[in-house]
Amino acid sequence: MGARTRTWTVRELETHFVPVLRNCLRIAQLKKIHAQIVKLSLSQSNFLVTKMVDVCDNSGNIDYSSLLFKQVIEPNVFLYNAMIRTYSHNHIYSLAITLFKQMLRHPDAKNPILPDKFTFPFVIKSCAGFLCHRLGQQVHAQVCKFGPKSHSIVENALIDMYSKFDDLAYAYKVFEDMTDRDAISWNSLLCGHVRFGQMRKARTLFEEMPYRTIVSWTTMITGYARIGCYADALDIFRKMQMVGIEPDEISIISVLPACAQLGALEVGKWIHMYSDKNEFLQKTSICNALIEMYSKCGSIDQAWHLFNQVIKRDVISWSTMIGGLANHGKAREAIELFRDMQKTHVLPNGITFLGILSACTHAGLWNEGLEYFDSMREDYHIEPDIEHYGCLVDLLGRSGCLDQALDTIRKMPMEADSKIWGSLLSSCRTHCNLEIATIAMEQLLELEPNDSGNYVLFSNIYAELGKWEGVKSMRKLIRSKSIKKTPGCSLIEVNNVVQEFVAGDDSKPFSQNIFWVLEVLALHQNKIDDVMETIPDDTKCFLLN
């Protein structure tokens, strides 16, 4: 007797394809597997089509996943969920929402397809990505109708959605109704406050959190850095380390701008060593942030050394280094680097040209600056914004082309801001041009009526021209407006802690000690000056050398 052929059940055949699909990485391979599935008459298997859609989701092949879904006559909730998830992952939010509506309108009334706790998180995410508040509320109503609202994943998605809609009242309502709050719940609400710039409320919520993840700490660091509270950002970063949470790539990128703005070079160097140790320097974004930190902290040589170590330089890498060189007075090097950038075929952007224009300004290369300004529009089709026009006005003003600078301001496609008029006023002082200075001052009186620096600058122009009546009138105007000079401040980093000193502020606990030391130093300096006056000039030169 011949051997009997074994008949495979549908379930066995489906199970057979599971490991094959799990190991499938390429779309060409998937098409071959799909052909076998069709050959075995399993093309209507919701189970296998769902697995194939998941493969398409992982490989980013949306078109093929859509074809797979459409050929199934009676898709079930699992297949709908897989397709909605695929659209949501790939930011095709409109199709995800359309598919959800189709799911609710399933024609078979006896066997309706009801959404579950795995459906709603991706539909809610799509509403948030679509920025449609009313639609989000309607989906929220569907959540209440079908019952999975007590599931923390769905509730967290709702909190995140309302936070992105800037509707913290509804976000709090969902949060307060939750029976099982996890770290994601707290973090979603925290992100909402940070997005609004409400750092006091964010800090209060942060202190109340029963458990804080790296996301919680990074959110606070990012929030403080965004509103310019750099010392607070560094403080949070240190406290994060004290509780034993190691920085990740995102937290490092978030805190480095604070190091740059505060001049906290030692902290920045530690982050560099930490990044090197943990192999974060393989990420171009980390290197870019470190290059900017070194540049702004005055260590342009270290910035240059790191730049040369970056393997995959992007436009940000080049732009940051060009801007750093320009700000350190290395205009020729910045221009040469821009030429090297052009040879690599990395296209410059608006930030790149800001660095180049700044370099030309500092070096007095106004002809080259005008050429780069024109090249930006003609060769790279980058439309200048107000910062580029500001650089151009500064460039022309410093070069003494004040009439051309004023003409540029008047022909700008946007209204000039106080920075541009202030730049022109400063150039007028350099070149003692009272006529154009008066025009600039008239504009500044409207834009910044209480800025003491503008009055002082204009008064100095009168003084340098010997027009003392003008000086008196400006001082009288300052007194009549009760304008107070903004106190000066300085920062110093000691033992990895940044201390800020403001003129007239003696509130620090060690202020009196500092004053005593300064008095001693002043007395010591006076004695040195007295002694130096008695020494012959030739001997004095010998001592100083």
The per-residue pLDDT for 491 is 58
Cβ atoms of 45 and 10 within 8 Å: the answer is yes
pLDDT at residue 253 greater than cutoff 90: yes
The per-residue pLDDT for 504 is 57
- Alpha-carbon gap, residue 62 to 56, rounded angstroms: 6
Average pLDDT over residues 203-229: 95
Which band of pLDDT confidence, cut at 50, 70 and 90, is reported for residue 145?
Answer: confident
Q: Which helix (H) or strand (E) holds 502?
A: strand 497-502
The per-residue pLDDT for 469 is 83
Burial zone of 452 (CB within 10 Å; 0-12 exposed, 13-18 middle, 19+ buried)? middle
**pLDDT exceeding 90 applies to what percent of the chain?**
60
Torsion of CA 29, 32, 38, 41, to 10 degrees: -90
- Alpha-carbon gap, residue 213 to 219, rounded angstroms: 10
The per-residue pLDDT for 307 is 97
Both tokens of 141, joined, read 């109503």
The per-residue pLDDT for 251 is 95
Both tokens of 282, joined, read 């393989």
Cβ neighbors of 346 (< 8 A, separation 6 or more) are 313, 314, 315, 318
Cβ atoms of 258 and 234 within 8 Å: the answer is yes
Average pLDDT over residues 463-486: 75
3-state secondary structure string across 435-483: HHHHHHHHHHHHHCCCCHHHHHHHHHHHHHCCCHHHHHHHHHHHHHCCC
Average pLDDT over residues 391-401: 93
Distance of CA 539 to the CA centre of its chain: 58
Q: Which residue has the tokens 């021209």?
A: 465
pLDDT at residue 499 greater than cutoff 80: no
pLDDT at residue 542 greater than cutoff 60: no
Greatest CA separation for the chain: 128
What's the pLDDT tens digit per position in 326-336?
999 899 999 99
The per-residue pLDDT for 543 is 38
- Alpha-carbon gap, residue 421 to 392, rounded angstroms: 12
- Alpha-carbon gap, residue 125 to 85, rounded angstroms: 10
Other CB atoms within 10 A of residue 465 CB: 14
What's the pLDDT tens digit per position in 434-465?
999 999 999 998 998 888 888 888 888 888 88
Q: State the chain's mean pLDDT as an integer.
A: 86
**Spatial CA neighbour of 286 closest among 249, 258, 234:** 249
pLDDT at residue 256 greater than cutoff 70: yes
Which range has highest mean pLDDT (12-26, 221-235, 508-522)?
Answer: 221-235
- Alpha-carbon gap, residue 425 to 525, rounded angstroms: 38
**Spatial CA neighbour of 231 closest among 259, 256, 251, 269:** 259
User: So where are the chain's domains?
Assistant: 313-371, 387-486, 506-544
Average pLDDT over residues 216-242: 95
Other CB atoms within 10 A of residue 409 CB: 21
Average pLDDT over residues 308-326: 95
Average pLDDT over residues 73-87: 93
Specify the pTM: 0.77
Dump the DSSP string for 278-341: TTGGGSHHHHHHHHHHHHHTT-HHHHHHHHHH-SS--HHHHHHHHHHHHHTT-HHHHHHHHHHH
- Alpha-carbon gap, residue 377 to 366, rounded angstroms: 17
Write phi, then psi, for 411 (nearest 5 degrees): -95, 0
Average pLDDT over residues 2-26: 76
DSSP annotation of 498 reads: E
Both tokens of 18, joined, read 């599971």
Burial zone of 201 (CB within 10 Å; 0-12 exposed, 13-18 middle, 19+ buried)? middle
Please determine, looking at this structure, whether the domain spanning 387-486 carries the CATH number 1.25.40.10.
Answer: yes
The per-residue pLDDT for 370 is 93
Burial zone of 202 (CB within 10 Å; 0-12 exposed, 13-18 middle, 19+ buried)? buried
What's the pLDDT tens digit per position in 27-50?
888 999 899 999 888 889 999 999
Distance of CA 504 to the CA centre of its chain: 34
